[in-house]
Amino acid sequence: MAARLIESLATTDAFAELFSDAFVLQAMLDFEVALSRAQANVGIVPRAAADAIATAANAETFDPAQLAKDGLRAGAVPIPFVKALTERVRASNPAAAGFVHWGATSQDVADTALILLLKRAQPILEADLERLETALANLSEAHANTVMLGRTLLQAAPPVTFGLKSAGWLGSVCRSRRRLSEAFDEALTLQFGGATGTVASLDQHGIKVGRELAKDLGLHFPDAPWHTHRDRLAALMCACGVLTGVLGKMARDISLLMQNEVAEVAEPTGPGRGGSSTMPHKRNPSGCVVALAAANRAPGLVAAFLSGMVQEHERAIGSWQAEWPTVSSLLQATGATTAAMTEVTEGLSVDKFQMLKNVESTKGVIFAERAMMLLGEKLGRDVAHRLLDHAARQSITQGRHLHEVLQEMSEIAQQIDPKTLQQIEVPEQYLGSAEQFRKRLLASREEKE
């Protein structure tokens, strides 16, 4: 199912289908069918009634537009939905109609339907995240020794490796994936509490029916209904927000590295990808655009969910009713950015020669810190900093290599031997623990698998 035009950058085909009317309806129907089946197993609903309810639970026979219209008047979609299901059951088995939605409340339907949609969302996200992690690990290994500029406050700084940079992205994705998985595991929990969370209408059968229902739907059975306790869902929304932010950071880095003035990496190309409507020469970071757009939306969606956690007593007014569009928008944003950055990473072009060229274009001033540390051992840090500040300014204004300027400064030449000064701009000699950090990040992923 294609997304609507207005949502074309905000979702994927898989997530647009998942949150479509048909799937939402089916999730509510799945709850009602499983509820009647659980009650039949316990012996409080006739088996024939459960069978009749299952037969009538065909999403294609419902009118989503009418349900939406009626739901707006009722204050909750499950109210007209239950009525419509009851009428369909009555048409084939009048006696069974009285057992539709037996002992449940509208919020039980809405919450559990949402949880069932989240259950279907998890493997979609997991599949893309697995691909993304693999692509990032491969990228890091391939460029373990590819030297590039480090950049701080968008300015050239001492060198790093692209392998370390890729491993940094990988580390944050792995940590976010673990948080997301844990949050999903907690959130995939049945909601079944009846009017006030006691299931009093089922007498002493409430817990037994609840366990049967949870088992049927493949969900956790909670210690108690959670109508106004939204912490599990909130944790999942926060995990989605963090993951989207992590991928947004990665997209920001890649889009900056794609600038013509930098030209160190490039997104994969293809028909209709990355072009401009007016400038044929352009190769735009289209995948990064999708990820950054999602990263811009996600914080507001997370905040909207968190603001709705302050709910009244046993059942709230207006808070849980606000969650469907918030949760669906945030999950679709997370899915869109994950899919986009997976595709970007798997096809990313890396120009290691341009990376080295950009290092060399600084004429060695990025190694002023290295020279300062060598000189500081002899003259003290403050004096060394002052001398290197002066040398760096000369290097920049005169367009000369830093080591040439340093060799002409007697205060420095007397303290550091000429061979060391000559080698001071070799980037491979000033990478510190970059490779050890890179390997630690990759090993961390492997340990968690």
Which of these, 249, 381, 232, 382, lies nearest to 309 by C-alpha position? 232
- pTM for the model stands at 0.94
Tell me the C-alpha distance between 185 and 180, whole Å: 9
Residues in contact with 163: Cβ distance below 8 Å, sequence separation at least 6, in sequence order: 139, 140, 141, 142, 143, 144, 145, 146, 434, 435, 438
Mean pLDDT rounded to a whole number for the chain: 94
**pLDDT average, residue stretch 225-236:** 98
Q: Does residue 371 fall inside a structural domain?
A: yes
For residues 378 and 258, membership in a common domain is answered with: no
For residues 393 and 318, membership in a common domain is answered with: no
Q: What is the CATH number of the domain that holds 396?
A: 1.10.40.30
Which of these, 164, 209, 210, lies nearest to 189 by C-alpha position? 210
Burial of 141 (0-12, 13-18, 19+ CB in 10 A): middle
Catalytic residue among 8, 201, 276, 349: 276
Which of these, 391, 390, 386, lies nearest to 376 by C-alpha position? 386
- What secondary structure, in 3-state letters, does the chain show? CCCCHHHCCCCCHHHHHHCCHHHHHHHHHHHHHHHHHHHHHHCCCCHHHHHHHHHHCCHHHCCHHHHHHHHHHHCCCHHHHHHHHHHHHHHHCHHHHCCCCCCCCHHHHHHHHHHHHHHHHHHHHHHHHHHHHHHHHHHHHHCCCCEEEEEECCEEEEEEEHHHHHHHHHHHHHHHHHHHHHHHHHHCECCCCCCCCCCHHHCCCHHHHHHHHHHHHCCECCCCCCCCCCHHHHHHHHHHHHHHHHHHHHHHHHHHHCCCCCCCEECCCECCECCCCCCCCCCCCHHHHHHHHHHHHHHHHHHHHHHCCCCCCCCCCCCHHHHHHHHHHHHHHHHHHHHHHHHHHHCCEECHHHHHHHHHCCCCHHHHHHHHHHHHHHHCHHHHHHHHHHHHHHHHHHCCCHHHHHHHCHHHHCCCCHHHHHCCCCHHHCCCCHHHHHHHHHHHHHHHC
Q: Does residue 392 fall inside a structural domain?
A: yes
Residue type (1 letter), 374: L
pLDDT recorded at residue 445: 85
**Known active-site residue 276:** yes
For residues 170 and 255, membership in a common domain is answered with: yes
Per residue in 393-413, pLDDT (tens digit) is: 999 999 999 999 999 998 988
For residues 298 and 412, membership in a common domain is answered with: no
Per residue in 306-331, pLDDT (tens digit) is: 999 999 999 999 999 999 999 999 99
Per residue in 400-446, pLDDT (tens digit) is: 999 999 999 989 888 989 899 989 999 999 999 999 999 999 998 87
Q: Does residue 203 fall inside a structural domain?
A: no
For residues 234 and 141, membership in a common domain is answered with: yes
Q: How many domains does the chain have?
A: 2
Is residue 7 very low, low, confident or very high in pLDDT (cuts 50, 70, 90)?
Answer: confident
Residues in contact with 135: Cβ distance below 8 Å, sequence separation at least 6, in sequence order: 342, 345, 346
For residues 290 and 392, membership in a common domain is answered with: no
For residues 299 and 413, membership in a common domain is answered with: no
Q: Does residue 337 fall inside a structural domain?
A: yes
Q: Does residue 23 fall inside a structural domain?
A: no
Q: Does residue 51 fall inside a structural domain?
A: no
Segments forming the whole domain that contains residue 412 = 365-424
Q: What is the CATH number of the domain that holds 440?
A: 1.20.200.10
pLDDT recorded at residue 281: 57
For residues 161 and 283, membership in a common domain is answered with: yes
pLDDT recorded at residue 444: 87
Q: How far is CA 318 from CA 75, 76, 189, 228, in A?
A: 9, 10, 22, 11
**Known active-site residue 131:** no
pLDDT recorded at residue 269: 81
Residues in contact with 227: Cβ distance below 8 Å, sequence separation at least 6, in sequence order: 107, 111, 191, 193, 197, 311, 314, 315, 316, 320
For residues 249 and 381, membership in a common domain is answered with: no
For residues 390 and 298, membership in a common domain is answered with: no
Q: Does residue 258 fall inside a structural domain?
A: yes
**pLDDT average, residue stretch 159-180:** 98
For residues 314 and 416, membership in a common domain is answered with: no
Q: Does residue 265 fall inside a structural domain?
A: yes
Catalytic residue among 315, 319, 400, 444: 315
Tell me the C-alpha distance between 267 and 298, whole Å: 23
Which of these, 352, 360, 249, lies nearest to 296 by C-alpha position? 249
Are 163 and 144 a contacting pair, CB within 8 Å?
Answer: yes
Tell me the C-alpha distance between 99 and 393, whole Å: 84
pLDDT recorded at residue 25: 97
For residues 268 and 376, membership in a common domain is answered with: no
